[in-house]
Structure 1
Amino acid sequence: MKYTSTRGGLTGVDFEKVLFAGFAPDGGLFMPEEIPKLDKRTLQTWSSYSYIQLVKEICSLFIPPESIPRAELEGLIDKAFSRFRHRDIVPIAKLKSGLNVMEMWHGVTHAFKDLAMSCVGELLGYFLKRSNKHITILVATSGDTGSSAIESVRGRENIDIVVLLPRGRCTRIQELQMTTVIEDNVHVFAVDGTSDELDYPIKKLFADSDFVKTHNIISTNSVNWARILVQIAHFFYGYLQCVPPTELQCPTPVEIVVPTGGAGNITAGCIAQAMGLPIRLVAVVNRNDIIHRTVQHGDFSLGDTAATLASAMDIQEPYNMERILWLLAGSDRSHIKELMEEFQEKKRVKIPEQLHKRIAGVMTSCRVTDDNILGTIGRCWEENHYLLCPHSAVGVYYHYQHIDGNQKSPRCCLAPASAAKFQDVIMKANLTPDIPQEIKALEEKQTRSRHLAREDDWEAELRQTIESITQRRHLP
């Protein structure tokens, strides 16, 4: 298995290089040169597998044994999931009105980012131990990515991590999960900007290939292919949990509803589809609706980033859409390069009609307001005594709008985070949040972060921090 940039500037790249690369040198994103195809017999075999077993099988399709021998890969994955609180890792709650909710938040930070990030941390550690190198991870977060990334590498001697969070735009719990990690290898900046704005200095740094190479900088945002790879597994798990094994020979499509911000999760769903999994995808967004407009009208154009109750989805530049476009354009690198360069220049691009038809053929979409979120949280509690986080409510809203007594296809709604992380929203819905002890304890912990004001030179501050990390790590 080799990898290519979506813009064609690099091909034949092995997994290790992709893991440590982030953006490709030509500005594109890495994707497999070939997507493995699975048959009905494989699905039948996998139907009894646990979630962890599915992660192992899918990772082994994209990580060849010459990169990581199969036995060692399985050991890394077992270790990655050893800190999860639920034995099923992603249990599915079967609720009234045909509602199936995949709980993806049983990891350390109570968010779905832990699923992939825990594996990425182990994969990075494996190669770094072998090469005896040091890297610096550079991450911008809209809420949950930062804390998951920190937890995946905290305390590791050969990794430093620099995280930019949008000050005042995350929940207090999300900020505390990042700023209370007092480790020598963790560096947190609280920045006066939106999550999209935080991406700009990071993109500039990654465009400086000499600086990136000198300081061994990588990203573990969902720009990193390994994040997408691990997330493919929960689409297979959701499908196999919703379809009885007796029906796998005559596949019943399952509709999987994906709360969508940066589009990494739904990219994994598109790859699962391309592998032969009979699913229909629903991208559900909040007021930041660029993906909804793209799916519905082919209008891939930038808007102002609005603050919503589903704050981790407050994103207007979903860079993973480039992967989806590449996949549906038949891996036409030159076409994707042209489209994305036009978007970068004009902040808008009209998706060609044929490509738009392909997008509409693999997914539909829905836009959800804050009032919809609060109403959905309230309804789910009334019917099930089950609390949804605002991001999970975005997906469940779609379900409540599309309940059909004659519907034969199952539907699975992905729940990205625990309601415990969004206490203010739960109280706005006139409900009482149930707060685990480990989250309550955050309020008593020491915090550490550096404030970057809007007038500060964010790129210069990052460069200085990274240079000091390199200098310190090279000292005897």
Structure 2
Amino acid sequence: MWHGATHAFKDLAMSCVGQFLDFFLKKRKKHINIVVATSGDTGSASIESVRGIKNIDIIVLLPHGRCTKVQELQMTTVIEDNVHVFAVDGTSDELDVPIKNLFADVDFVKKHNLMSTNSVNWARVLVQIAHFFYAYFQSAPTTNGETLPAVEIVVPSGGAGNITAGCIAQKMGLPIRLVAAVNKNDTIHRIVQNGDFSLGDTRTSLASAMDIQEPYNMERIFWLLAESERDNVKLIMEEYNEKKQVKLPQELHRKVSGAMTSCSVTDENILAAIRRCWEENKYLLCPHSAVAVFYHYQQFNAEQSSTRCCFAPASAAKFSEVILKASLTPDVPEEIKALMEKETRSIFLKKDDDWEKSLRDKIEALDQQRQSS
């Protein structure tokens, strides 16, 4: 799924969003400010989709030192006038907080035409539904009967945007069984297994783009599955936002666990899956893809009665450090090697800086500059 401009699955949906925005902004003669927090791949895909577009400024917050060097360079080496990168001393969950605060300020949002291209943006989830239909028809065994056979699709999950698209595909009638595969940041796994929706400390893992403890798209999944009890979802989220923990009602938990199963994978499991896949297939997995493939190996060792597809969301070329840890040789394309020689540009924010104020100041400065030019 990663054969796009930044070697990540988000390129497809993000490129569509960028073109939609360019078309409608030109038509309406408007300008917007995009504000994005990233755990690794979202930032670079967002930048690539809108770089150089006159009617858009994009501000990206990246977790400095918590994504790979290649991921960071894919953001900081873009020197277009409409691209502005903050390298922040914090986790991706922490970076979400000032952005949530900005969007809670309705007057500020309207005044500066703010939007986001994180997976909270519905257009991204909409495009990603296509992933599941494509995967299904690539994987489904041929049958002479009228009933379409089921396919299990294993989805590496962080913010849960992609698996939300899978839930919508299910609702549309696609006969898929979903598996949410997470690293040791296991909020989604705990929700699926026992209805425990609680916040833990964000832990660093080899699958760094999935180092997320607050999968904000789970609210969408709850709403999709709750059906006649959708009013309860608002109460659940209000309780979670206040206490950072809530136990799902029994009926809602039953529906969530009926829509998907889950697994949580350690760093050791990730390295083992990368090695085994290379030994058996001569295919280099990125650590996020390896989370899904480790689940497959577990099931493959036990039984092989169903058709299964594992999503591979990023290229291994972006994670050379992990490939080396697996005692394998990275295969890095020339365009990624070239990043190492490029000029970089970013603004560093320390832990004790006021991140929200920095964002507000930057947005206001950009609008003032644009209005005076």
TM range, smaller chain: over 0.9
From 393, 398, 422, the counterpart of 2:290: 393
Deviations 1:404-440, CA, capped at 9 Å, x for gaps: 6863421000000000000000000000000000000
Which residue number in structure 2 is paired with residue 470 of structure 1? 367
From 315, 323, 327, the counterpart of 1:430: 327
Which residue number in structure 2 is paired with residue 231 of structure 1? 128
Q: Secondary structure at the match of 1:109?
A: coil
Q: Secondary structure at the match of 1:329?
A: helix
Is the helix fraction higher in 1 or 2? Answer: 2
Partners of 2:189 and 2:93 lie apart in 1 by 17
Alignment TM-score, normalising by the size of structure 1: 0.77
Contact kept? 2:190, 2:196, Cα under 8 Å? yes
Which residue number in structure 1 is paired with residue 270 of structure 2? 373
From 234, 247, 267, the counterpart of 1:350: 247
Partners of 2:5 and 2:240 lie apart in 1 by 37
Which residue number in structure 1 is paired with residue 308 of structure 2? 411
Which residue number in structure 2 is paired with residue 213 of structure 1? 110
The alpha carbon displacement at 1:473 in A equals 1.5
Contact kept? 1:150, 1:178, Cα under 8 Å? yes
The alpha carbon displacement at 1:244 in A equals 4.1
Equivalence map 1:71-110=2 (5 Å): 104-110=1-7
The yes-or-no answer on 1:453 pairing with 2:350 is yes
From 92, 100, 116, the counterpart of 1:203: 100
Which residue number in structure 1 is paired with residue 19 of structure 2? 122
The yes-or-no answer on 1:159 pairing with 2:56 is yes
Partners of 2:305 and 2:265 lie apart in 1 by 25
The alpha carbon displacement at 1:247 in A equals 4.8
The alpha carbon displacement at 1:469 in A equals 0.9
Deviations 1:418-467, CA, capped at 9 Å, x for gaps: 00000000000000000000000000000000000011000000000000
Letter in 2 for 1:125: D
Partners of 2:145 and 2:85 lie apart in 1 by 47
Letter in 1 for 2:99: I
Deviations 1:26-76, CA, capped at 9 Å, x for gaps: xxxxxxxxxxxxxxxxxxxxxxxxxxxxxxxxxxxxxxxxxxxxxxxxxxx
Which residue number in structure 2 is paired with residue 242 of structure 1? 139
From 13, 23, 28, the counterpart of 1:131: 28
Q: Secondary structure at the match of 2:269?
A: helix
The alpha carbon displacement at 1:336 in A equals 1.0
Equivalence map 1:281-360=2 (5 Å): 281-330=178-227, 332-360=229-257
The alpha carbon displacement at 1:393 in A equals 0.2
Query: Segments of 4+ in structure 1 off by > 3 A?
Result: 244-248, 404-408
Q: Secondary structure at the match of 1:258?
A: strand
Deviations 1:225-246, CA, capped at 9 Å, x for gaps: 0000000001001111112454
From 231, 248, 259, the counterpart of 1:362: 259
Provide the aligned C-alpha RMSD in A.
1.1
Q: How many residues end up aligned between the 2 structures?
A: 373
Deviations 1:266-294, CA, capped at 9 Å, x for gaps: 00000000000000000010010000000
Contact kept? 1:342, 1:348, Cα under 8 Å? yes
Partners of 1:245 and 1:272 lie apart in 2 by 20
Q: Secondary structure at the match of 1:330?
A: helix
The structure-2 alpha-carbon separation of the partners of 1:382 and 1:344, relative to structure 1 and needing over 3 Å to count, comes to same
The yes-or-no answer on 1:258 pairing with 2:155 is yes
Q: Secondary structure at the match of 1:456?
A: coil
Partners of 1:310 and 1:247 lie apart in 2 by 41
Q: Secondary structure at the match of 1:138?
A: strand
Deviations 1:186-223, CA, capped at 9 Å, x for gaps: 00000000000000000000000000000000000000
Partners of 1:332 and 1:114 lie apart in 2 by 35
Partners of 1:406 and 1:420 lie apart in 2 by 32
Q: Secondary structure at the match of 2:227?
A: coil
The structure-2 alpha-carbon separation of the partners of 1:359 and 1:131, relative to structure 1 and needing over 3 Å to count, comes to same
Name structure 2 gaps, 5 residues minimum: none
Alignment TM-score, normalising by the size of structure 2: 0.98
Partners of 2:226 and 2:161 lie apart in 1 by 18
Contact kept? 1:252, 1:409, Cα under 8 Å? no
Deviations 1:329-366, CA, capped at 9 Å, x for gaps: 00644211100010000000100000101111110000
Q: Secondary structure at the match of 1:306?
A: coil
